[in-house]
Amino acid sequence: MMTYWWLMPLLSGVLLACVTGPLGSFVVWRRMAFFGDTLAHGALLGITLGVISDIQPTLALLLSSIVLALVLFPLQRIETLSSDTLLSIISHSMLAIGLVVLSLAQGVRVDLMGYLFGDLLAVTGQDALLIGIAAAVCIGLIRWQWRGLLSTTISQELASIDGFPVARLNLMLVLMLAIIVALSMKIVGILLVSALLIIPAATARSLSRTPAQMVLLASLAGIIAVLAGISASFFWDTPAGPSIVVAATLMFVASMAVKRS
């Protein structure tokens, strides 16, 4: 029974790290860190509305993240404000609205700390299966559209000239991010979900020479962070989500030291 108890968190974390590696690489290349934060913070409002309307929490997370991603996608083109400023405003506004609505909802009890910082040990077999399916689909799409995604990352104008469907590829990447961010929340939480995307990718960037190498190293760094974080949680009774992020941060610091030497 004890083996099964740790199997689901381990499996879920490793599967998630495998897909956050390539997705996080595109987030770093495209400078979309604020986008992931906004999706995560906005999802709290979706969770609140889901609890109030008695919708399954994971389904509420997925639906709210996808809807928010579809809303944010065209808003990034607004020229009156820089995209990071606009995303920052939306991010903090959605988080605040979610907390206010949650506080006003009478008779509703939600594990707020679990959503904010994750609860990896509460992951079930159904959660692991859902993460596995999402990871397999996202990795398959990235492999299928690798050249197009890489071309649009380098230059959207040149990618369009080369015949790649730029708008469709951008939308596909945004939707994949929305799904993975939603599924990551149970593991690392709303406040730390961006770290799982960005820190392993940033670690890999300082150690890799090609985009493909960076994607593989980012996944490997994420897997190591998950294993180290869960081990720390087991031996020292620390929260699993923050422990994973701390492990990823230590690897990033080490990678920077290796790069400078």
Q: Kindly list the structural domains of the chain, giving each domain's residue range(s) and its CATH number in brackets, ordered by start.
A: 2-191 (1.10.3470.10)
Residue 59 pLDDT > 90, yes or no? no
CA distance 261 to 98: 46
Kindly report, residue by residue over 106-120, the tens digit of the pLDDT: 666 666 777 777 777
Backbone angles phi, psi at 106, to 5 degrees: -85, 140
The percent helix, strand, coil of the chain (3-state, each to 5) is 85, 0, 15
Structure tokens at 98: 């979610």
Cβ proximity of 12 and 243 under 8 Å:
no
Determine the pLDDT at residue 5. Answer: 64
Query: Model-level pTM?
Result: 0.90
pLDDT tens across 90-148, in order?
Answer: 888 888 888 888 777 766 666 677 777 777 777 888 888 999 999 999 999 999 999 99
Average pLDDT over every residue of 166-173: 94
**3 state SS for 48-80:** HHHHHCCCCHHHHHHHHHHHHHHHHHHHCCCCC
Query: For tokens 């869960």, what's the residue?
Result: 230
Alpha-carbon separation of residue 144 from 109, 183, 253 (angstroms): 43, 22, 33
Per the CB < 8 A criterion, the answer to whether 83 and 196 are in contact is no
pLDDT above 90 covers a percentage of the chain that reads 44
Highest mean pLDDT among 36-40, 65-69, 96-100, 136-140: 136-140
Q: Which helix (H) or strand (E) holds 165?
A: none
Distance CA 175, CA 172 (A): 5
Mean pLDDT, to the nearest integer, of 8-25? 93
